Structure 1
Amino acid sequence: MARPVTNSAFEGLLLAAGYGNAHAAFARQLNHAGRNEGAWRYDAASVYWWLRGRRPGEHVQAAMAKTLARKLGRSIAVTELGFGAADSIGICIYPASVNGAIDTAEQIWTRLAMHLNLSGVFDSGKAIEAALGWRYDLPDKTVSRNGRQQVTSTDVQSLYALADHFTDLDRRHGSGSPHTRAVMADFLVRQVAPMLHGTYTDAVGRDLMRAAATLSGQLAFMSYDAGEHAMAQHHVTLGLRLAKAADDRLYGAHLLANLATQAVFLGHARAAARLVEAAIDGAGRAPAAVVARLHATAATAYGQSGDRRACLVALSKAERALDRTDTDPGPRWVGYFSPAHLAGAALRSLGDLNLYTQAIRHAPEALELANQNTRTRALHTALVAMTHARAGDTDAACYWSGKLAPHSAGIRSARVRQRVRELVATLSPEQATPQVNEVLHALAVLLAAP
């Protein structure tokens, strides 16, 4: 039984342009109008769903307006199409189907490519809903598809290479520049979205979904680092659904842990704990490196929420797992997680519990990072300084604060700036001390830099 039309404005324009009973013809004209955007494959079914509430991306709407304008002999504003404002996109809604995930991907990638941020704030309720959907929804029976563009395994492998490139840029320089994220989103719109709409077998499709989840997850982390939290949450939610379609529970757990990390940063400790618990449960019998990473994230959530016992248990589990990584390393994407990353989590969580003596024991190892981890080095250096300050060791706090400027040079990161601001707030009560006053002046200069 056909669903009722909900977009009467779009229906009226189609009728006026002579496409009332020729939806396939309209779709063909639309595909032609959007040929510069990639291999569009819209058809009569696409028009059916647009009439019934599905919202195409802004670039598709622009092509629709031009197509209708040619037939009607007058200009058509995008607002006349009846799809509503851009912010009517279901923020952070976990897509129910693979097709829904593909459509959502195209929409939000297009917004980012056009430098249009998603308004709103981090929604912990929607984050929990996404976690439940990822953990308990039935797996997709198949993701094979018939479209215009043939997609091969070789095509998919090139996407992983691109993800590695952007991951390296992010770790070295931070994600504060909107240009980097826009370039990545533009590639996703022009290359990856047409691949998702293409022709592929179930096996290739699963790998394609995994690659798309990896790219979406990287874009999410970059948005989070830039302080664009609604955009970050939306991309993580999308990545979770794509990972579900890929049947990759480990990468899904990793993304959910990233969402928990974002929740900790924003002070949603209880939600963060629930998210990472779902990640640990969903990962099942995971490789040691994945287990270590997940329990380290759990420790930061428990530490912020004040659950001392749970925090110490999580740190212990992470340490034991990390000791087994030589024989059980796990997927490539978790290779970044090192003893220094675990030490940073211990430093943060134990400090939140006011266990400063125990926390400071982890400081030397937290700074033993690989050269490419420049942003993490800046974050950990600020954290070491702040922990010493909270413990009452002003001299050590000033010493490590003095190390921040060289470690932060060339990094654009909202998270680094936030941690520097926290350090300033911690040191400010001692600003009458000449040494502290000098450090505060240097930190102010650091925060004033573009």
Structure 2
Amino acid sequence: MQPATVGADFATITEAHRRLYWSVAPAVLHQAVAEHANLGSALLADTDGIARRVIASALAESLLLAGRIQFFDLRRPEAADATFVRALQAAGEADDSLLGAAVLGHSAFVPGWAGQRENAAERMRAARTYARRGACPAELLAWLHAVEAECLTRCGDHRQALSILRQAEDTLAVGSEHPRPEWFTWFSATRLAAFKGNTELAAGLIPQARTTLEAVLTDLPETDGKQRVVVLGDLAAVEAAAGRPDSACALLEQALDQLSVTWYATGMERIREARRALAPWQESDAVRRIDDRLYSWSATLSSLQR
């Protein structure tokens, strides 16, 4: 059996990975997180009592982080889905219902982004059930609303998505007495507005989307480079939809600059979506400059490898 201190030691590394996510290259960090999770799985068999529960909770967080990297940063949805199952198992070992809700909420993205509305809805029902079992803070509940709204947006139900996003805004405004867990670092009022701006764009509400996304870009912290790429891509798509190709290209230049610092597959997808919206102006110098950057030797090889 391992000493009682092993739980805290393992959790310390998990916390470090949590912070490293925002700056370390995804493929590099994923390798470290995956190996750390393998260690945690082995340690579960050699611990009991409080140490075992601490390790199980930290293991669930590590596997959740690994799944997030696989899904959002590397765009490997099948691998992410399997990792989320392992994360839920670890959360069950820890009997941590809020971690379970977070895992299930993330798992809903997999069918939701694939247009499988019923599958995503079932996972969201499970996530809300787990959230009710614990002392759920307003931020986590609002995030679950935002996840459901994004799944609906991907499935084409923009009206219902906007309605649920208003519920999320109301939930944050009311707040709750329960503090957010330390591991809940990926959501805020600004992030909620980013969800809303994307849905407004998908719904064709171009002036509203521009207002929302410009405010998000102003409020995002400098350290949030991954989200900045996404917002810049969405804003570029807004400008393209408004018939302003030069403005769209200027935003895409900024997004590509940020992407060269912080790789984010989801951000690259948004850039490509905006570029497709620029098809009517593809012979212009501004759009050709974007293509030169999108399809440089290094960028093309990097994209194919990923």
TM-score by structure 1 length?
0.60
Matched, 1:385 2:232: no
Matched, 1:300 2:150: yes
SS where residue 361 of structure 1 aligns?
helix
Deviations 1:16-73 (A, max 9, x none): xxxxxxxxxxxxxxxxxxxxxxxxxxxxxxxxxxxxxxxxxxxxxxxxxxxxxxxxxx
Report the counterpart of residue 65 of structure 2 in structure 1: 218
Matched, 1:187 2:23: no
Deviations 1:182-214 (A, max 9, x none): 23333333x32331111312x443332211111
Matched, 1:434 2:292: no
TM-aligned CA deviation for residue 425 of structure 1: 1.6
Deviations 1:319-365 (A, max 9, x none): 12223458644211224312221111111222222222322221123
How far apart, CA to CA, are the structure 2 residues paired with 1:373 and 1:321?
A: 24
Structure 2: gaps of 5 or more residues:
none
TM-aligned CA deviation for residue 254 of structure 1: 0.9
TM-aligned CA deviation for residue 287 of structure 1: 0.9
> Once structures 1 and 2 are overlaid, which stretch shifts more, 438-447 or 278-287?
438-447
Q: Is the 8 A contact 1:163 1:218 kept in 2?
A: no
Query: What is the identity, as a one-letter code, of the residue corresponding to 1:349?
Result: T
Report the counterpart of residue 22 of structure 1 in structure 2: none
Deviations 1:120-159 (A, max 9, x none): xxxxxxxxxxxxxxxxxxxxxxxxxxxxx2352x322233
Q: 1:235-314, aligned counterparts within 5 Å?
A: 235-284=83-132, 286-314=136-164
Q: Is the 8 A contact 2:201 2:234 kept in 1?
A: no
How far apart, CA to CA, are the structure 1 residues paired with 2:120 and 2:280?
A: 31
TM-aligned CA deviation for residue 270 of structure 1: 4.1
Structure 1: gaps of 5 or more residues:
1-148
Deviations 1:404-426 (A, max 9, x none): 12211232333233222222222
TM-aligned CA deviation for residue 215 of structure 1: 0.8
Report the counterpart of residue 300 of structure 2 in structure 1: 448
Q: 1:284-363, aligned counterparts within 5 Å?
A: 284=132, 286-325=136-175, 328-363=178-213
How far apart, CA to CA, are the structure 2 residues paired with 1:447 and 1:417?
A: 11
Quick one: structure 1 residues 254 and 294, their matched pair in 2 at CA, closer, same or farther if it must change by over 3 Å? Answer: same
Q: Which has the larger radius of gyration?
A: 1
Deviations 1:371-420 (A, max 9, x none): 33211211221122123223433243122112112211232333233222
**Identical pairs, percent:** 24
CA RMSD of aligned residues (A): 2.4
> Once structures 1 and 2 are overlaid, which stretch shifts more, 305-314 or 219-228?
305-314
Higher helix proportion (structure 1 or 2): 2
How far apart, CA to CA, are the structure 2 residues paired with 1:250 and 1:302?
A: 23
TM-score by structure 2 length?
0.86
Matched, 1:406 2:278: no
Quick one: structure 1 residues 296 and 197, their matched pair in 2 at CA, closer, same or farther if it must change by over 3 Å? Answer: same
Q: 1:145-160, aligned counterparts within 5 Å?
A: 149-152=1-4, 154-160=5-11
Q: Is the 8 A contact 1:240 1:256 kept in 2?
A: yes
Quick one: structure 1 residues 304 and 188, their matched pair in 2 at CA, closer, same or farther if it must change by over 3 Å? Answer: closer
Quick one: structure 1 residues 323 and 157, their matched pair in 2 at CA, closer, same or farther if it must change by over 3 Å? Answer: farther
Q: Is the 8 A contact 2:241 2:277 kept in 1?
A: yes
